[in-house]
Amino acid sequence: MALQFKRPPLKAFIYWATVLGVWAIIFVTAFIAVFSFGLPSIDDIDKVEKQPAITYLDRSGALIAVQGSQSAPPVNLDELPPYVPAAFLAVEDRRFYHHPGFDPVGILRAAMRNATKKGGNLAGGSTITQQLARNLFLSSDQNMKRKIQELIMAVKLELKFTKKEILALYLNRVYFGAGAYGIEAASQRYFNKPAKELTIAESALLAGMMKGPSRYSPLSDSERAQNRANIVLNEMVEARVITPEQRAEAVSKPLKVTKTLATAHALYFIDWLSSEVQPIAASAKEDLIVETTLDLAIQTDAERAVQRIMERDAKKKVEQTALVAIDGEGRVRALIGGVSYADSQFNRAIEAHRQAGSSFKPFVYLTAMEAGYNPLTPVVDEPFEIGGWSPENYTKKFLGPMDLQTALAQSINTVAARVANDVGRENVARTARRLGIDSKINTDPAMALGTASLTPLEMARAYVPFSNGGYKVAPHGIIRIRTTSGKILYQYREDVRTQVIANPPLAYMNQMMRQVVISGTGNGIKIPGNYDLAGKTGTTSDYRDAWFVGYTGGFTTAVWVGRDNNTPMARVTGGGTPAAIWRDFMASALTRIKTSAIPTGPVSEMDEAASAAVDELLNSSPAANDNAVPPMVTMEPIPNPEDQQPAPTDADDIFSEAQRRNQ
């Protein structure tokens, strides 16, 4: 009979405990090895990659905005008021100084919540060290693998750095939304001050954002952000880092948040450039500097004009506006896509297609001038019908005989519709496209009254040839993109300039649109000083859209006002709100730029004698100096075409005679 050996209970316990311990060590080692595979080294903490920051400069080198990963120099923890880090510890990790990188109590509490929770998103329980590990080295995926990797990296951080160093790294690296990384960048972003000047209330708001930088951002929902900040203040009182009296004082004073970057202007303009900048930024290894065409001083003039006039005319049910100012080379110098970027990021200057109204008429009249008409060509404002449609004037009245110059100045619908029909509506559409209109242009009988839907940028572009001597432009906002080390990644190159308006039609059109400003529907835009101004108003028949597009030599501005839901305004016309914005803006902008008379156009198309003859006919010789206004021709309405005296010889006859004399 075999002998049976039986260990005493104590020895048996020690034996099996040892066996289980060895296997536990093997299992834990294997477990950690599996989940540590592919994790970055803690030694790479200063090599963490981020998306390049993009700095936008205006045409003179002034800072417009910084986008992308906006960082700031790290702050020294000792320089911050004690309540700043305390706010984060109170709400995020009360036992920060007493755990080894993970908090077993917090993990257990989160595990119990997750056991009764449906869905893939796991509850929190992460310490500040774990959050730092996640922000620096891991993704934000909510799954078990990432949570385990986060714990492993947190322990590694605790073994390498002191608690003070970990807290400093956290405050300087954590994301606060709106492109701001670190407490210093966040303080500048939201409060326009350095972090060392943060108040208790401001610190609580920033700490509260850690639960969700977008959800609790004061830019997206100020009430929700304030409620979250109040919770943080309560936690700070409970943790005894502030007194109840300090909490009461913090709550009593409303927080003032800067809605845009302290160094940022023209965010609609920056958004417009993003489609060009982002593909370059995606492959860049360095931070980028984008040199733009924007003139920050002029942009500020535009913002002030918009705010003042829109507040003034709010009672007229005017809700939104767009403004584009562009020079004779196609450089966009100012751009506004709406009343408030913080309230709406929809860029109406670029994306809103709105009916042009009578601001489309210059394309009709230019087509007529190129077909042999001139400003003195007699016409009659009277009822008539085209294909069953009868145009009506704004006043519902008919003025009888007049000339084309008067018809444009007074924005007579019947004349514009008849002229478009006579010269061919397809030809009018081709003229508009030639000058820069890319949107679809319908050719129905009412097309002369501006039934086409165009963007403010298109409209500004199409008027530029009137202001620059007849040349088409390509609107652009970027001059150059370079890295911070100086490597050029993009340089704007101008294509060969294309002449799209010749003389005498160009001279005729400038003369006629000057008259719009002198005695017509745009006479409200007069600016003190000797400025050579021209332009055209535009109003849709139901007051859904109102425009003023005007220019001087080499500088054009288009202004649109309306409502996003396309409902009517309270009888707002192009000569009203948009003209007032244009006047307010241009009165300041023209003092900042070198102004000149509107160019007479490409002389290469006419010899000197012919050019002089046309100038004599129009009485519009160039001004003697940059600020002088060329003499104007005032055309009285013709009483009756049959009774009038023989009309003066037109420009075509003078041109032909001058050529004959010089042969």
Tokens representing residue 192 in the block: 């326009």
Give first-to-last CA distance, the chain, whole Å.
142
Shortest CA distance to 394 belongs to which of 212, 521, 527? Answer: 521
Is 223 a known active-site residue?
Answer: no
Q: Measure the CA–CA gap between 132 and 377, rounded to whole angstroms.
A: 77
Is 274 a known active-site residue?
Answer: no
Q: Residue 445 in contact with residue 312, Cβ under 8 Å?
A: no
Phi, psi of 309, rounded to the nearest 5 degrees: -75, -35
Annotated catalytic residue: which of 126, 203, 217, 358?
358
Map tokens 């199409």 to a residue. 462
Q: Residue 453 in contact with residue 353, Cβ under 8 Å?
A: yes
Neighbours of 623 (CB within 10 A): 17
Query: Do β-strands 288-292 and 54-57 pair in parallel, antiparallel, or remain unpaired?
Result: parallel
Cis ω for the linkage preceding 504 (within 30 of 0): yes
Phi, psi of 485, rounded to the nearest 5 degrees: -85, -5
Q: Measure the CA–CA gap between 449 and 399, rounded to whole angstroms.
A: 18
Q: Residue 64 in contact with residue 300, Cβ under 8 Å?
A: no
Shortest CA distance to 600 belongs to which of 502, 464, 472? Answer: 502
**Degrees (nearest 5) of the Cα angle 86, 91, 97?**
55
Q: Is 443 exposed, middle or buried (0-12, 13-18, 19+ CB in 10 A)?
A: middle
Q: Residue 451 in contact with residue 398, Cβ under 8 Å?
A: no
Strands (E), 484-587: 488-491, 498-499, 534-539, 545-552, 555-562
Shortest CA distance to 546 belongs to which of 515, 568, 523, 519? Answer: 568
Annotated catalytic residue: which of 92, 291, 370, 458?
92
Map tokens 């709400």 to a residue. 91
- Rounded to the nearest angstrom, the gap between the alpha carbon of residue 442 and the centroid of all alpha carbons in its chain is 29
- Rounded to the nearest angstrom, the gap between the alpha carbon of residue 42 and the centroid of all alpha carbons in its chain is 40
Q: Measure the CA–CA gap between 368 and 403, rounded to whole angstroms.
A: 13
Neighbours of 474 (CB within 10 A): 14
Q: Residue 288 in contact with residue 54, Cβ under 8 Å?
A: yes
Which residues are tagged catalytic?
Answer: 92, 358
